[in-house]
Amino acid sequence: MNAGRIARSYRWLEYAAFGRTLEDARFDFLPIAAEASRVLMLGEGDGRFLARFLECNRQACVAVVEESARMIQLAHQRVPMADRPRVQFHQMDAVAGPLPEGPFDLAVSHFFLDVLSCRDAETVISNVSARLCPGASWMISEFQKPPAGIRRLHAGLWLAGMYAFFRTATGLRVRVLPSYRELMAGQGLIETNHRERRWGLIRSQIWRKRI
């Protein structure tokens, strides 16, 4: 999904729908990123996570993959002048690739896999996993549909509304959430920690590649 059309207003649309919940989910496991040295960020958007990451990690080199030129511009503006030499922006479709060469010891994707079809999510997860060194972490914040009950109904209604909005606003073709957790596990990645919000609709996660 190219969010260029709504890049300028994206932050405020997010706050209107979720307050600071999505932002908090992005930062849940930020402390584990403090020692990373080579980092791959997918679909970074307007750079709010990138800016916070650079504050807590003073040595990492970061490759940012983002399809929208406008989002890259906004993210670049958030990067302090002193940190710009260690951040490379790649305007590209992460599915079409090729992704920046690894190995990386940390990957980050926040609310990115949900705009991919199951096939495209499988491609991206496979390509990212291949670029992670053994023992590397993947920090993810995503939407999910809980297995049953009122929590599942609540998530289903929210997801249907969000997909309808982005279909109109950006031309997004995806209509359902891909089974990204099963795809991650299929690549030998192990979920080691998570936190849920909004009745299980939002899940921040840490996955690790087997050593």
Tell me how far CA of residue 211 lies from CA of 10, 103, 179, 189, 194, in angstroms. 38, 14, 24, 10, 20
Which pLDDT value is given to residue 3? 63
User: Are 132 and 209 contacting, i.e. CB atoms less than 8 angstroms apart?
Assistant: yes
Range of the domain at 113: 4-209
The predicted model gives 90-100 an average pLDDT of: 93
User: Are 33 and 210 contacting, i.e. CB atoms less than 8 angstroms apart?
Assistant: no
Q: Are strands 87-91 and 104-110 parallel, antiparallel or unpaired?
A: unpaired
Which percentage of the chain shows pLDDT scores above 90? Answer: 85
Please list, in sequence order, all residues whose beta carbon lies within 8 angstroms of the beta carbon of residue 48, skipping any fewer than 6 positions away: 11, 23, 26, 78
The predicted model gives 153-174 an average pLDDT of: 92
Q: How many CB atoms lie within 10 A of CB 122?
A: 20
User: Are 191 and 207 contacting, i.e. CB atoms less than 8 angstroms apart?
Assistant: yes
Place of tokens 């600071």: 20
Note the pTM of the prediction, 2 decimals.
0.94
The predicted model gives 76-85 an average pLDDT of: 96
- Here the CATH number for the domain that contains residue 102 is 3.40.50.150
Q: Is the pLDDT confidence value at 2 over 70?
A: no
- Picking from 87, 18, 82, the residue whose alpha carbon sits closest to that of residue 50 is 87
Q: Is the pLDDT confidence value at 181 over 70?
A: yes
Place of tokens 């999904």: 1
Q: What average pLDDT does the chain have? A: 94
- Least confident stretch, 4-13, 48-57, 71-80: 4-13
Q: Is the pLDDT confidence value at 173 over 70?
A: yes
Confidence of residue 1 (pLDDT cuts 50, 70, 90): low
Domain count, the chain: 1
Q: Are strands 202-209 and 132-143 parallel, antiparallel or unpaired?
A: antiparallel
The predicted model gives 146-150 an average pLDDT of: 94
User: Are 50 and 87 contacting, i.e. CB atoms less than 8 angstroms apart?
Assistant: yes
Q: Is the pLDDT confidence value at 45 over 70?
A: yes
CA 167 to mean position of chain CA atoms: 19
- Residue predicted with more confidence, 53 or 6: 53
Please name every residue paired with 207 in a beta bridge, in sequence order, or none if there are none. 138, 191
Question: Side chain identity at 176, as an amino acid letter?
Answer: V
